[in-house]
Amino acid sequence: MSLNRRTFLKSAGLAAVAAPFARPSFADPVVFAPQPGPARSFELVTRFEIANLKGAARVWIPAPSRDFGNWFWVRGTFFSSNANDAALRTDPGSGATFVEASWTGETAPVLEVVSRFSTRDRAVDAGAASASVEPLSDIERAEFIRATKFVPLAGIVKETSDKIVQGQSTDLGKVRAIYEWVVDHTYRDGKVRGCGAGDVVGMLKAGSAAMGGKCADINPLFVGLARAQGIPARDLYGIRVAPSQFGYKSLGPSTPTVTKAQHCRAEVYLTGIGWVPMDPADVRKVALEEPPGNLDMMSEKVLAARKALFGAWETNWVPYNSAQDVRLSQSEDSIAFLMYPQAEVGGVMLDCLNPDTFKYTITAREISV
Do 172 and 71 have their domain in common? no
Is 119:188 a contact under the CB 8 Å cutoff? no
pLDDT of residue 27: 43
Do 130 and 75 have their domain in common? no
Do 145 and 270 have their domain in common? yes
- Residue 7: exposure state from Cβ atoms within 10 A (0-12, 13-18, ≥19): middle
Q: What is the CATH number of the domain that holds 168?
A: 3.10.620.30
Do 16 and 139 have their domain in common? no
- Return the DSSP state at 249: G
Do 169 and 281 have their domain in common? yes
pLDDT of residue 93: 80
Among positive and negative, which fits the CA dihedral 311, 264, 46, 5? negative
Do 39 and 168 have their domain in common? no
Do 160 and 297 have their domain in common? yes
Instruction: State which of 320, 341, 356 marks the end of a domain.
Output: 320
What is the tally of structural domains in the chain?
A: 2
pLDDT tens digits for range 295-314: 999 999 999 999 999 999 99
Which stretches in the chain have pLDDT values below 70? 1-30, 208-209, 330-332
Do 112 and 127 have their domain in common? no
Domain annotation covers residue 2: no
Do 64 and 149 have their domain in common? no
Domain annotation covers residue 1: no
Around Cβ 70, how many Cβ atoms within 10 Å? 10
Distance CA 313, CA 279 (A): 8
Do 108 and 166 have their domain in common? no
Distance CA 362, CA 159 (A): 41
pLDDT of residue 13: 42
pLDDT tens digits for range 305-344: 999 999 999 999 999 999 988 888 765 677 889 999 999 8
Do 296 and 354 have their domain in common? no
pLDDT tens digits for range 94-113: 889 999 999 998 889 999 99
Is 226:233 a contact under the CB 8 Å cutoff? yes
Query: What domain range includes position 41?
Result: 7-120+322-368
